[in-house]
Structure 1
Amino acid sequence: MPVIPGRRALRRARIALDDDLVLGGLMERLAEADPDRVLVDEVDGARRTVGEAAALVDGWAGAVAERVAPGGMVVVATPNGYDQLLLCLAASRAGAVPAPVNDRLRPAELEHIVDDADAALVVRSPDELPTDSPLGTAHPADAGDVGAVFYTSGTTGRPKGAELTHRGILGGLNRAALVPALGRGEEAVCGLPMAHIMGVAVAVGLACASIPVRFLPRFDAEAVLDEIEGRRAGIFVGVPAMYRMLLDAGAEDRDLGCVRLWLSGADAMPAALADRFSRMGGLATLPGVGRVGRAVFAEGYGMVETAGGVAARVALPYLPDAVGRVGVPLPGYRTRVVDPEGTEVGRGTVGELQLAGPGVLKGYRGDEDASRGAFTDDGWLRTGDLVRRGPLGVFTFEGRAKDVIVRGGYNVYAVEVEQALEQHPDVAEAAVVGLPDDRLGEVPAAAVTARSGADLDPEELRTWAHDQLSSYKVPVRVVVVDELPHSGTRKVQRAEVRDLFAG
């Protein structure tokens, strides 16, 4: 039965204002408000309405309930796709705790996660679960309970399972249900991994905002550009590495004036790169006039341990000075910046960002030592990220504490050197690491990739860097590689980069 518009608006408002919403009830609530709305149109996959997705979640929940006792862990190791999210919602609806993982993990890596989670069920394909015995009523859950476990990417060791609550994961994303109808006319193109918290947060936020998703299970730069251009999509969501690949695939030669909003997260976005994409999009398209203005570029800051975004910035057209900053904390989060001794530092001074708020993890599953080490004695999460607080409380990301290279007593921030190298017209991506040095302690070294068709000379790049940076920040070695090692969310794996300089 169709939902009367006024009743639909009321139901959407109730979703937005429900602080007790849990994962297992999310799709059911969205379906009550607007069952016939298109939720996702997957490339080479399914096209589902909200009502169809809700029915699928309930059907899979019935199958999970027959196999797993309440509180049991379900590792969802299916190929990347929107159904991976729906399977996680189904496990939660059945009273289990889902742990989505990348199906492209090596067997030993997946085995570690399955053992660490003490999984009662491992799902490798949606076809493994029948849908003919729907659950009907969701298992009772509290918003403060652990809603899912997300495993870290393992860039600093073996993956750890971050226990995140329902309230933390939803994190106010349900407020997106208040987006007015005028803002719901766009389609978003997205190719993020659903095994990562950013992919889940984006999908949930768009679902609550009633913005349909054109989802690409495997990111391919040319295919993404074809989708945006061909479908006249108004929104694209990706990580900085994806934006670099789009640029290298000829984004500036495409008609992307339909894009009103570029969204990025999971890693630091170079200011120059964000500015180039803002210029490709448009603020509006007027009949007989065409594209007007520049697109908005928005960036979120967060991590697995905070269930996604905790700070954001929006670069409005013609205000480029805001581009490249982390932004300001989201409502509900408290922040402080401290020196290595834990003393708060003043505005303009670099220090570690520490956080407290609703999305912060409860702890690492089965690892009390890691859980204790993640927090200060007075309960603040240690992010390990170095920031500088500027005017109006705006944070600027300076790098990871573990990525600071101390060269003869001088601090070299890897991100700063990378951004300088990436301003070179022929450099696609750069990664900077510290190498041991008998005299200076550490020295910076850089691995770079070239833009399509370009040839890079390492010594010429060192000269370029010398013109951009203080001499002690210039990499002593530069190597050109075909591709940098990345994680599932396209973050550079610095330990593997360091191996490039071995010997």
Structure 2
Amino acid sequence: MRNRGLGFWLAKRRLKNPDKPAVVFGDEVLTYRELADAADRVASVLWHRGIRTGDAVAYIGENSPQFLEVLFGAAQIGAVFVPVNTRLAAPEIAHVLTDSNARALILDIEFLDRAMTGVESGRIAHVIVTGEGLPENPGLAHLIAEAPGGHTIADVTLEDPAAIVYTSGTTGKPKGAVLTHGNLTWVSLNAIVDYDIVSMDVSLMISPLFHVASLGMGALPGILKGATMVLEKGFEPGRALALIAQHGVTMLSGVPTTYQMLADHPAWESTDISSLQKLTCGGSAVPTRILNAYEERGLHFSQGYGMTETSPGATSLSPAMTREKQGSVGLPHFFTEVRIADENGDMVPRGTVGEIEISGPNVFPGYHDRPDANETAFTDDGWFRSGDLGYLDADGYLYIADRLKDMIISGGENIYPAEVENLISDIEGISGVAVVGVPDERWGEVPLAVVTLREGADVDTTAVREHLDGLLARYKLPKDVVVVDELPRTASGKIRKADLRAIFGKK
């Protein structure tokens, strides 16, 4: 019996670098030995509760060492880790828990009430809170302390599922992207190669680990190389700057909003950030103003493009090409390939816009229990159809032209309009709705709802947001609602969202 997946990583690190700091969390410092020992005990806790290979273990919590302990503990016994976005509303959490068929749920206590609908309607047999827990429900910290040690070895291959990560669906309900142990291993290698991650790096993790970008491009490659992570529950620019100076942080990942807030903070000029060497940015292109602010301090960005289905990295733009190829998302990662196809699936010449297709060992095998979606997600020769439009220039650099799926990226969070539109359509008095992204100085873009009303109806922004509040994560709520006489449509009746973005994106 042999575990070839993520489940052996910490045991190897414990052997090679037992006393190296693995995680810094507030005043707590865990070495690789301590992190590996805790993961071993989590594996024991799960195993003695009947969790077996292939069972799903869901986790709802902010960044903490326990997130990693559960991830790697589950991987040891071949269980499938399901990280849940902490910003989701109760119905959204319930969908993830039931759709994934989770057998166990581990969560921070503040999310317990929000998760109960999913617990009651799903297959969850065990609910464990992090920390010390409750009198009637001993917490994970207590269970770990009581559990027997020793590394559990399960028969796991690189083709076996390691995680199910949910991505908002274009037709409403989020879909679970199944990421294999091989997917997460190869995306980690891509990051190590293209971002020059080394064992001496100290990475400040301010983005949530439940996001595949933070996990697949930050935490996992860092652990694979034996680097140190400084984990933060959330992002506060002043504290982030202080941590960079305090811990000699060398690597930072975020979205344009992250970097803008750091540069705009009063402590920006006075903070010693001389240790910083690597800045990675995703979500959208870095605006020139932010490039300038960081270049004035000798810092340059690596930018990239990807999605949950590619674990998530697909391309990266090296710092050396930031200005020369400004606007590009770079070249395919080392072990990944990208091509452009027309509507018939034929390859198009360089400079021609078409659908971006991606291939490589980091590309997922399919969606959980969604044969309908899987049938259209891949080409006949196995390439993933991203649903995004772009083109390759003469040098092979990728440029994003448009989002075929109309996805909105707000502060690094993906918002699919269909999910929001479906709920707005339920509001009394609304006869038609289209949700589009419009520019926002702080978040990059925010959702705007454009609606038509039935005769005599009176619906405003407050009414729409109140209806959606509790049904959707708050970042998905439209910032504003605009009432129009009619929505622009094609001859076949489809709403012309490009027209709406052109009209309202200027305001």
Could you tell me the TM-score, scaled by structure 1's length?
Answer: 0.72
1:344 is the counterpart of 2:347: yes
Distance in 2 of aligned mates of 1:279 and 1:370: 43
What is the alpha-carbon distance in structure 2 between the residues aligned to residue 33 and residue 227 of structure 1?
27
8 Å CA contact 2:187–2:311 kept in 1: the answer is no
How far off is 1:120 after superposition?
A: 0.8
**1:62 aligned partner:** 44
Tell me how far 1:243 sits from its aligned partner.
Answer: 1.6
**Aligned partner of 1:339: which letter?**
D
* Corresponding position of 1:246: 262
Aligned to 2:440: 448
Aligned residues of 1:81 and 1:216 also touching (Cα < 8 A): yes
Q: Match of 1:501?
A: 482
Contact 2:253 2:280 in 1 (8 A): yes
| Aligned counterpart for 2:365 among listed residues 346, 362, 367 | 362
Counterpart-to-counterpart distance in 2, 1:257 and 1:246: 11
Match of residue 74 from structure 2: 91
Deviation at 1:450, TM superposition (A): 6.6
CA gap of 1:379–1:185, structure 2 versus 1, over 3 A, is: closer
Deviations 1:452-501 (A, max 9, x none): xxxxxxxxxxxxxxxxxxxxxxxxxxx9xxxxxxxxxxx996x7448633
The Cα shift of 1:192 comes to 1.3
The range that moved more, 325-334 or 258-267, is 258-267
Which residue of 161, 179, 197 corresponds with 2:176? Answer: 161
Q: How far apart are 1:445 and its partner, in Å?
A: 7.8
8 A contact 2:162–2:181 mirrored in 1: yes
Once residues 346 and 265 of structure 2 are traced to their aligned partners in structure 1, the CA distance between those partners, rounded to angstroms, is 46
Summarize deviations over 1:301-352 as a string: whole Å, max 9, x none. Answer: 21110112121111128x6213442111123323211223323221112221
Say if 1:277 and 1:134 are closer, same or farther in 2 by CA, change over 3 A: farther
Closer/same/farther in 2, CA of residues 178 and 267 from structure 1, 3 Å limit: closer
On the 8 A contact 2:87/2:474 being kept in 1, the answer is no
Shift of 1:368: 1.2
The gaps in structure 2 that reach 5 residues or longer are 108-128, 132-138, 422-433, 444-460, 462-472, 485-507
Q: Distance in 1 between matches of 2:193 and 2:301?
A: 21
1:140 is the counterpart of 2:155: yes
1:387 corresponds in structure 2 to: 390
1:193 to 205, 208, 221: 208
User: Residue deviations 1:103-126, cap 9 Å, x none?
Assistant: 332221111111101111111133
Which residue matches 2:306? 302
The partner residue of 2:380 within 377, 380, 384 is 377
CA change 1:244–1:100 in 2 (3 A) is same
Distance 1:492 1:395, change over 3 A: farther
**1:165 positional shift:** 0.8
For 2:468, the equivalent position in structure 1 comes to none
Which residue of structure 2 lines up, in the alignment, with residue 5 of structure 1? Answer: none
Greater relative contact order: 1 or 2 (C-alpha under 8 angstroms, separation 6 or more)?
2
Q: Deviations over 1:215-247 (max 9, x none)?
A: 211111221122223444222111222123223
Equivalent position amino acid for 2:166 in 1:
Y
3-state DSSP of counterpart to 2:318:
strand
- Preserved CA contact (<8 Å) 1:310 1:329: yes
Equivalent residue for 1:150, pick from 165, 172, 192: 165
What's the % identity of the aligned pairs?
Answer: 27
Alignment of 1:23-422 (within 5 A): 23-43=6-26, 46-67=28-49, 68-124=51-107, 125-127=129-131, 128-129=139-140, 130-131=143-144, 132-153=147-168, 157-171=172-186, 173-174=188-189, 184-201=199-216, 202-250=218-266, 252-273=268-289, 275-281=291-297, 294-316=298-320, 320-403=323-406
Letter in 1 for 2:263: L
Q: Deviations over 1:422-473 (max 9, x none)?
A: xxxxxxxxx9x9x9xxxxxx9998353479xxxxxxxxxxxxxxxxxxxxxx
- For 1:88 and 1:78, how far apart are their aligned partners in 2? 12
CA distance, structure 2, for counterparts of residue 225 and residue 153 of structure 1: 32
Structure-2 separation of matches of 1:175 and 1:375: 22
Structure 1 residue 184: Cα displacement: 4.1
Work out the CA distance in 2 between the residues paired with 1:119 and 1:182.
34
Change (3 A) 1:142 1:103: same
| Partner Cα separation in structure 2 for residue 265 and residue 137 of structure 1 | 37
TM-score, normalised relative to structure 2? 0.71
User: Retained in 1: the 8 A contact 2:248–2:276?
Assistant: no
**2:67 and 2:155 mapped to 1: Cα distance?**
22
Structure 1 unaligned spans of 5+: 1-19, 282-293, 405-413, 419-430, 436-441, 452-478, 480-490
Give 1:374's aligned amino acid: A
Return closer, same or farther for 1:501/1:82 CA change in 2, 3 Å cut-off: farther
Cα deviations by residue, 1:187-236 (Å, 9 ceiling, x for unpaired):
22221111111111211112223321222111112211222234442221
| Counterparts of 2:400 and 2:193, CA distance in 1 | 31
* Distance (Å, rounded) in 2 between the aligned partners of 1:492 and 1:314: 34
- Give, in angstroms, the shift of residue 248 of structure 1: 3.3
CA distance in 2, matches of 1:109, 1:23: 28
Q: What is the RMSD of the two structures over their aligned residues, measured on CA atoms?
A: 3.7
Q: Closer, same or farther in 2 for the Cα pair 1:271/1:177, shift >3 Å?
A: closer
Letter in 1 for 2:482: F
Write the distance in 2 (CA, Å) between the matches of 1:212 and 1:445: 37
